[in-house]
Amino acid sequence: MITRREFLQASLAASALYGASGFGKWSRLAAQQALSQEQLLQFDDFGNLTLIHVTDVHAQLRPIWFREPEWNLGVGEAKGQPPHVVGKAFQQMFGIVPGSPEAYALTYEDFAALGRSYGRMGGMDRVATVVKAIRAARPESLLLDGGDTWHGSMTSHWEWTFGTARVQEIVESLPFPFLGANIFDAEWDEPAFEPYRIFDKAGLRVAVIGQAFPYMPIANPRWMFPEYSFGIREDRMQAVVDEVRAEGVDLVVCLSHNGFDVDRKMASRVTGIDVILTGHTHDAIPEPVLVGQTILIVSGSHGKFISRVDPDVRDGQMMGFRHKLIPIFSDVITPDPGMAALIETERAPFKAKL
């Protein structure tokens, strides 16, 4: 009898053959070929739900030049594993043709030369175009923001450097949930924020558990938020997963700002999570990483990529999926007029300083 993990492994293999990076088979035909928006957005709908993930935009509203790192050190078991592989080694690992759009987007090799052909990446008006295209194809899709978009995301990190009062003000004004299963009241040692939200989408009940950056008091001054404590809190995560499973949800998604290596370790220790949408470390990997029965999705940073994940959910289990890391080539994707106008309006008072 085939196991659920074998189903997921088959999905992973099929996703790689399909063109998991979002470029598809055509990217391997020739280097520096013409790109089109249709090619970048091409996706054969799969399963019964679509997740859209963007993370770590860091207020980069307009297209930018973004060179992937030349060094990415992995320690212990992580050494030599994605995302701790760069350049030619990364290209070889994922079958990327040197000089191709895929090579330009995902590695630093020949960045300056290839940049003349492929141009800037990102831009929230281009991101809006992609999100709207996915939603047009899959109206019941679920858009999830993994943090550090600017101050006020679905899960948190840099918001806290403005202090507790400002965070509370932001949370009260957000039109979407602010999730943090691992944020506790420091005095009472009890949960301080909504740990999860259950969304009804495409006839499914989808639990989204939020995981804030766990090292806030170490990486940032504790005096800015003395009322709260953080941490990875694996036991807490397991308890929350068990709670939503007991409520009969069909799919469990962890929207995390842990960083990839922390999420990979957490996936090996916490059972019952179907998908971890990971963030914080700005990694871009063209294929999902399978840990046990959990898939890890990484979506880069600064608006350079969007991830689309179509899971096949049956009887409360994810039996398969299709994934695509969509590169936001700014010269190829048509800007969304409404978002472009909004960006210009927001930038206008500060143009003299920009």
Radius of gyration of the chain (CA): 20
Which residues are 184's β-sheet partners? Answer: 191, 229
For the entire predicted model, the pTM comes to 0.93
Give the span between the Cα atoms of 172 and 27, in whole angstroms: 45
Q: Domain range holding 180?
A: 4-353
Name the E strands within the chain.
Answer: 51-54, 142-145, 184-185, 190-191, 196-201, 204-211, 228-229, 251-256, 275-278, 289-291, 294-298, 305-314, 317-327
As a residue count, the chain comes to 354
CATH code, 318: 3.60.21.10
pLDDT tens across the length of the chain (354 residues): 556 666 577 677 666 655 544 455 434 443 345 789 999 999 999 999 999 999 999 999 999 999 999 999 999 999 999 999 999 999 999 999 999 999 999 999 999 999 999 999 999 999 999 999 999 999 999 999 999 987 778 999 999 999 999 999 999 999 999 999 999 999 999 999 999 999 999 999 999 999 999 999 999 889 999 999 999 999 999 999 999 999 999 999 999 999 999 999 999 999 999 999 999 999 999 999 999 999 999 999 999 999 999 999 999 999 999 999 999 999 999 999 999 999 999 999 998 887
Distance CA 89, CA 87 (A): 5
Taking the C-alpha atoms of residue 177 and residue 8, their distance in angstroms, rounded to an integer, is: 30
The number of domains in the chain is 1
Structure tokens at 45: 């709908």
CB 261 within 8 A of CB 214: no
Residue 147: C-alpha distances to residues 210, 279, 286, 303 (Å): 10, 7, 20, 12
